[in-house]
Amino acid sequence: MSDTLLEVDDLRVTFPTRTGLVQAVRGVSFSLRRERLGIVGESGSGKSQTGRAIMGVTPPQAEVSAKKLAFDGMDLLSMSPRERRALRGSRIAMILQDPKYSLDPVMTIGRQIVETLRTHEKVSKAEARERALAMLQAVQIRDPARVFDLYPHEVSGGMGQRAMIAMMLVTGPELMIADEPTSALDVTVQLDVLKILDKLVAERGMGLIFISHDLRLVSSFCDRVVVMYAGKVVEQIKASELRDAQHPYTRGLLNCMPRIGFERHPLPVLDRKPEWAA
Amino acid sequence: MSVAENQAAAGRGSARAVAILSSLGRFLVIAVTTYLGLLAVTFFIGRVIPIDPVLAVLGDRAPTAVVERTRREMGLDLPWIEQFYLYVKAALRGDFGTSVLTTNPVMSDIRRVFPATIELATLGTIIGAVIGVPLGVLAAVKRGSLIDQVARIVGLIGYSVPIFWLGLLGLVLFYAKLQWIAFPARLDVVYEYTFTPITGFYLLDAAIQGQWDVFYDAWRHIVLPAALLGYLSLAYISRMIRSFMLNELAQEYIVAARAKGLSERRIIWGHALRNAAVPMVTVIALSYANLLEGSVLTETVFSWPGIGLYITNSLQNADMNAVLGGTIAIGSVFIAINLFSDLLYRLLDPRTKTG
């Protein structure tokens, strides 16, 4: 078995719309070992759709194609929906942006965690509860037994996102796709949640795809960075070398980052050249 | 569990009890206020309408002295605020006066006719919900497919075709031609003398008394009008459920549920419909209330001795006591249904429990 966890070659996602076909993702390729890969780009660059296509949760009208889309040597596109579903939530997991919307509002947090577990493993109710509580503990929720019985609207955003992480990690997946996991949270809570995510990913030796528009966050948190623009990868670079990025688009993004002690006036405008998207 | 945890649990329990009691109290206040409002409106209508109650009772040939005496006996010479007080007092006792048309107390008339309507409306709503909800869900899930189109057409016909016409067609086909069902009435004449209703819901009464021949006969009478009302509410319910479901299926928690690897069945029926259930309760309750008050046409076509027919007949005979009594009865049931659906709301949506 090779140590490549995920291989993506020429991934395309197309949406039919009233005004014709819209290509959200246009030939994205990268491969992932058990490492932390960041995908950055502005809104509409196709980074989220890339994550969802790998996960297999694109809307039904979207068309997903690729020369190769393989997880652990298994071709994701040719397998049956049932096989694909069995992977989702057990070996590949996903965290969404805002726990306010991504947790079912009428189901207690505990039941939502237990639901993931019991979908993929034959465990008794009592054991599932135990493991859910342990998972809540692992995401540093101090009073797991209480939070277990709470509804999503009864907890804060940071707590909700930890519950979301718990719900997705309880089965011990090998690949985690985190789609803007901290963008909806208060800045003070962002770091807490990131630390928890970082720790769990490191402990369990998982592969992580971290989708974000926050360049600074990605560069400090990931090993490698994929920069996307208009549905394409414009640059792949080690996070530590991001400062020396070559592509003008990446340079443009870097340029927009504010620095303490420096006046930015007027704010730079991102350069967008059609040939980068060609 | 430690002692502290036990105490905490007990504290939560009693806090919850207080919350339930206070919301029950609030419900009660709302119910009483609405009911008083209903009484006020009916009282006002009763005074405004250009029908002389004395004239309705005595006819136009009574001597003036008798008319004057009757007017006093009916309390019509009192100031209106006192009349209203007496009206409310009597209404709270369930006394709506005597019907001129049937010469019975209005209340006993209502006891007789209202169960007929409730039985029909209940059966109709059950049919509408049992078929309408799954149809709406399927139409939303398979949007744009054949089943969605069929549901759309079924709904469109249900909306736009007059129910009495459908009723007449149904009678021609199923009663006159095929003879699958019984003639328009609640029961065959034979049973009118051998069967004593208890609750007034004939299907229920027959079942309780084990008179299965009566049950079968009552069923043959009710099935067509109930199916028609069921179709009417099905058309409405399925359209509404479809749009609720489309709304829920577009939410992020559905993506999360897919990411968890749940089956489509579990996602649709366990998550999306569970969330759509809250507005769904309102829609079904409204459609039920609608059938309770608005099935006059159906009751006419099927000679169904229900409250719609009763009020219409009373109105045509200027029998104001009966009309107002019937209106208040329907209004009361309306209030009760609304409160009930409010309670269900609270049970279904955890977000409404606190605050």
ipTM: 0.90
pLDDT tens digits, B172-222: 899 888 888 888 888 887 787 778 888 888 888 888 888 888 888 888 889
Given a cut of 90, is residue A163 above it in pLDDT?
yes
Would you tell me which residues 57-116 of chain B have a C-beta closer than 8 angstroms to some C-beta of chain A?
none
- Residue B81 is predicted with a pLDDT of 86
pLDDT tens digits, B227-271: 999 999 999 999 999 999 999 999 999 999 999 999 999 999 999
Would you tell me which residues 100-139 of chain A have a C-beta closer than 8 angstroms to some C-beta of chain B?
101-107, 115-116, 119-120
The DSSP string of A223-263 is SEEEEEETTEEEEEEEGGGGGG--SHHHHHHHHTS--TT--
Are the C-beta atoms of residues A39 and A54 closer than 8 Å to each other? no
Nearest residue on chain B to A55, judged by CA atoms? B259
Q: What is the mean pLDDT of residues A155-164?
A: 92
Nearest residue on chain A to B254, judged by CA atoms? A102
pLDDT tens digits, A56-91: 999 888 999 999 999 998 999 999 999 999 999 999
Closest by Cβ to B351, choosing from A96, A105, A116: A105
> What Å distances lie between residue B46 and A230, B34, B53, B85, B318, CA to CA?
71, 18, 9, 14, 11
Are the C-beta atoms of residues B271 and A107 closer than 8 Å to each other? yes
Q: Is B255 on the interface with A (CB under 8 A)?
A: yes
Nearest C-alpha of chain B: how many angstroms from A98? 9
* Mean of all residue pLDDT scores within chain B: 86
More confident residue, B295 or A134: A134
Q: Do B271 and A96 touch (CB under 8 A)?
A: no
- Count of helix runs (H) and strand runs (E) in chain A: 11, 11
Task: Give pTM, 2 decimals.
Answer: 0.83
Among A34-48, B50-64, B192-206, which is the least confidently predicted range? B50-64
pLDDT tens digits, B281-299: 999 999 999 888 767 888 8
Nearest C-alpha of chain B: how many angstroms from A256? 30
Burial classification of residue B111, based on how many CB atoms lie within 10 Å of its CB (0-12 exposed, 13-18 middle, 19 or more buried) = middle
Q: Is A98 on the interface with B (CB under 8 A)?
A: yes
> Which amino acid would we find at residue A215?
L
| Largest Cα span, chain B | 86
3-state secondary structure of A144: helix
3-state secondary structure of B105: strand
Q: Is A91 on the interface with B (CB under 8 A)?
A: no
Cα–Cα distance, B100 to B219 (Å, whole number): 33
More confident residue, A182 or B9: A182
pLDDT tens digits, B132-165: 999 999 999 998 889 999 999 998 998 888 888 8
Percent of chain A with pLDDT over 70: 99
- Residue B5 is predicted with a pLDDT of 52
- Rounded to 5 degrees, what are φ and ψ at A27? 80, 60
Q: How confident is the model at residue A121 (pLDDT cuts 50, 70, 90)?
A: very high
Closest by Cβ to A104, choosing from B253, B263, B278: B253
Directed axis angle between helix B3-48 and helix B80-92, to 10°? 130
Among residues B167, B186, B164, the alpha carbon closest in space to that of B306 is found at B186
Q: Which residues of A touch B275 (CB under 8 A)?
A: 104-106
Q: Give me the residue label for tokens 């246009």.
A: A26
Q: Is B144 on the interface with A (CB under 8 A)?
A: no
Q: Is A167 on the interface with B (CB under 8 A)?
A: yes
- Residue B144 is predicted with a pLDDT of 86
Nearest C-alpha of chain A: how many angstroms from B254? 7
User: What topology does CATH give the domain B110-352?
Assistant: MetI-like fold (1.10.3720)
| Largest Cα span, chain A | 61
More confident residue, A122 or B76: A122
Nearest C-alpha of chain B: how many angstroms from A58? 8
What is the enclosing helix (H) or strand (E) of A9?
strand A6-17
> Which amino acid would we find at residue A12?
R
Cα–Cα distance, B233 to B54 (Å, whole number): 41
Q: Testing the interface with A: which of B244, B260, B281, B354 to mutate, by most A Cβ within 10 A?
A: B260
Closest by Cβ to A119, choosing from B253, B256, B261: B261
Q: Do A105 and B258 touch (CB under 8 A)?
A: no
Q: Is A143 on the interface with B (CB under 8 A)?
A: no
Q: Is A88 on the interface with B (CB under 8 A)?
A: yes
3-state secondary structure of A177: strand
Tokens of B124: 């109709």
Q: Which residues of A touch B255 (CB under 8 A)?
A: 52, 57, 96, 102
Name the pairing type of β-strands A232-238 and A63-65. Answer: unpaired
What does chain B come to in residues?
355
Bridge partner list, A69: A8
Nearest residue on chain B to A102, judged by CA atoms? B253
Q: Do B261 and A115 touch (CB under 8 A)?
A: no
- Domain boundaries defined on chain B: 3-92, 110-352
Q: Give me the residue label for tokens 């090779």.
A: A2
> What Å distances lie between residue B276 and B206, B208, B245, CA to CA?
37, 36, 6
Which DSSP category does B196 fall into?
-
Cα–Cα distance, B95 to B104 (Å, whole number): 12
Nearest residue on chain B to A89, judged by CA atoms? B260
The DSSP string of A94-131 is EE-S-HHHHS-TTS-HHHHHHHHHHHHS---HHHHHHH
Among B50-54, B169-173, B228-232, which is the least confidently predicted range? B50-54
Q: Testing the interface with B: which of A48, A98, A106, A175 to mutate, by most B Cβ within 10 A?
A: A106
Cα–Cα distance, A166 to A170 (Å, whole number): 6
More confident residue, B91 or A262: B91
Task: List Cβ neighbours of B326 (8 Å cut-off, separation of 6 or more).
Answer: B106, B110, B307, B310, B311, B314
Given a cut of 60, is residue A1 above it in pLDDT?
no
Among residues A143, A144, A164, A140, the alpha carbon closest in space to that of A152 is found at A164
Directed axis angle between helix B106-141 and helix B320-348, to 10°? 40
Per DSSP, helices labelled H in B61-105 are: 64-73, 80-92
- Residue A150 is predicted with a pLDDT of 94
Nearest C-alpha of chain B: how many angstroms from A95? 8
Closest by Cβ to A101, choosing from B251, B259, B263: B251
Cα–Cα distance, B308 to B305 (Å, whole number): 8
Q: Is B253 on the interface with A (CB under 8 A)?
A: yes
pLDDT tens digits, B319-340: 888 888 998 999 988 888 988 8
Q: Is B240 on the interface with A (CB under 8 A)?
A: no
Which DSSP category does B270 fall into?
I
Q: Testing the interface with B: which of A102, A148, A183 to mutate, by most B Cβ within 10 A?
A: A102
Closest by Cβ to A105, choosing from B255, B257, B275: B275
Q: Do A106 and B275 touch (CB under 8 A)?
A: yes
- Rounded to 5 degrees, what are φ and ψ at B12? -60, -40
pLDDT tens digits, A221-264: 899 999 998 888 988 988 888 878 888 888 877 777 777 777 76
Q: What is the mean pLDDT of residues B8-25?
A: 69
> Which amino acid would we find at residue B45?
I
More confident residue, A32 or B320: A32
* Mean of all residue pLDDT scores within chain A: 89
Given a cut of 70, is residue B355 above it in pLDDT?
no
Q: Is A160 on the interface with B (CB under 8 A)?
A: no
Q: Is B355 on the interface with A (CB under 8 A)?
A: no
- Cβ-based contacts under 8 A for chains A and B: 79
Task: List Cβ neighbours of A209 (8 Å cut-off, separation of 6 or more).
Answer: A6, A32, A37, A38, A39, A51, A54, A175, A176, A177, A178
- Rounded to 5 degrees, what are φ and ψ at A104? -65, 120
Burial classification of residue B58, based on how many CB atoms lie within 10 Å of its CB (0-12 exposed, 13-18 middle, 19 or more buried) = middle
Task: List Cβ neighbours of A253 (8 Å cut-off, separation of 6 or more).
Answer: A40, A42, A215, A227, A270
The DSSP string of B113-130 is HHHHHHHHHHHHHHHHHH
CATH 3.40.50.300 fits A6-100+175-277, yes or no: yes
More confident residue, A8 or B28: A8
- Residue A130 is predicted with a pLDDT of 94
In our burial notation (b when 16+ CB lie closer than 10 A, e otherwise), range A148-173 reads bebbbebbebbbbbbbbbbbbbbbeb
Q: Which residues of A touch B263 (CB under 8 A)?
A: 85, 119
Q: Do B261 and A106 touch (CB under 8 A)?
A: no
Q: Is B348 on the interface with A (CB under 8 A)?
A: yes
3-state secondary structure of B93: coil
Given a cut of 80, is residue A173 above it in pLDDT?
yes
Q: Is B263 on the interface with A (CB under 8 A)?
A: yes
